[in-house]
Amino acid sequence: MAGWRRAVELAMSDEEIATLTTLSRSRIALASRVSRAQMLLAYRENPSFCAVGQRLGVHHQTVQRCVERALVDGPLAALDDRPRPGKEPTITPEAKAWLVSLACDKAKDHGYPHELWTTRLLARHAREHGPAAGHGCLANLVQGTVCKILGQEAIKPHKVRYYLENRDAEFEQKMAEVLCVYREVQVLKKASAKGKRRGKPVTIVSCDEKPGIQAIATTAPDLPPKPGVHATFARDHEYKRHGTLSLLAGIDLLTGKVHALVEDRHRSREFIELLRRIDAAYPPNTAIKLILDNHSAHISRETRAWLATRPVGRFELTFTPKHGSWLNLIEGFFSKFARSVLRHIRVASKHELKERIMAGIDDVNRHPVIHTWSYRLAEAA
């Protein structure tokens, strides 16, 4: 006949009791941890394995094992499963290191037509060449094991994440020049607000092109929303392309006025036409400062020749550094224009698209928005 199970005293600190109480009421913690926390708290109130088991609907031996482990390892450690021995690993650390090193190469460097490894291809290569490299444990390597090994090292050889190499040694200096122009915009705005007059009139215009605006036509009429039927416009998946247009624009950073033209292309002659429009929009004694990127049309021989025909001091050009066109404020205007006027646009021809774009520019100029640059402006000299 088995002997009586003796109740043992389980001592717990106030912090441990508070933690167990919180866990016992949790709805998001693991069910096993919640159940064990409830066992320990119930046993503290009534030190009887059978009584606690009946109260919580578990076997009394389950309660006994939980309490005995709490006595040995502590109440909080008893909440988790004991580590299990598991199967002895068959892939050696040296083989794993060889596999990870292999994954850091390109597949094409090992004679494959693939640019990068896939986990299936990597597993096949390891099975075929691992034993010859002294890693016989890789002879039966499967794709899932490859994924686990690479996951442990946080290696993803099948993916590409792009970065931008700094190819402009004078990036910081050129960025500072652009920021100084934006600081000048800030000074001019404050002076205008106070009614102060400065010397020679100055305006600052941010210029760029938005190429590749598609003239897309529908092949079936759009269906308008119907209450209780469908909430959105319905559009047929098929469409017809009529080509693309380029929007060349310059935005006055002091007034928000946009100077623009729409052309089939954006070569030097189209850019010079934009400069002519900007030139005609301001009095002859106004200095026009342009912020531009390094597009070939902005620095071409034709553009320089036309600028040479203008009076000295009429145009002053400041270029963003290479790969720094994001410093040009008009990029924000183009983004807003694409998300409003050009969003889901459908037209019957390129001519209609041009008219719609210019109508959008006119609407912007009726309610101009003054764009302001603030990023790192305090660092400008």
For the chain, 381 residues long, the average pLDDT of each consecutive 10-residue run is 59 91 92 92 90 92 91 90 80 94 95 95 95 93 94 93 84 91 90 76 95 95 90 93 96 96 95 96 94 94 96 94 91 94 95 96 94 78 52
Radius of gyration over alpha carbons of the chain, in Å? 36
Degrees to nearest 5, angle at CA 40 with 37 and 46: 140
Q: What pLDDT was estimated at residue 87?
A: 76
Q: What pLDDT was estimated at residue 193?
A: 79
Residue with tokens 């499967």: 142
Where would I find the beta strands (DSSP E) of the chain? 202-218, 239-252, 258-263, 287-292, 315-319
pTM for this structure? 0.68
Q: What pLDDT was estimated at residue 7?
A: 66
What is the rounded distance in angstroms from the CA atom of residue 112 to the CA atom of residue 298?
44
Q: What pLDDT was estimated at residue 284?
A: 92
Q: What pLDDT was estimated at residue 4?
A: 46
Q: What pLDDT was estimated at residue 196?
A: 72
Q: What pLDDT was estimated at residue 2?
A: 44
Q: What pLDDT was estimated at residue 3?
A: 42
Residue with tokens 């919180």: 22
Per the CB < 8 A criterion, the answer to whether 215 and 244 are in contact is yes
Single-letter amino acid code for the residue at 284: P
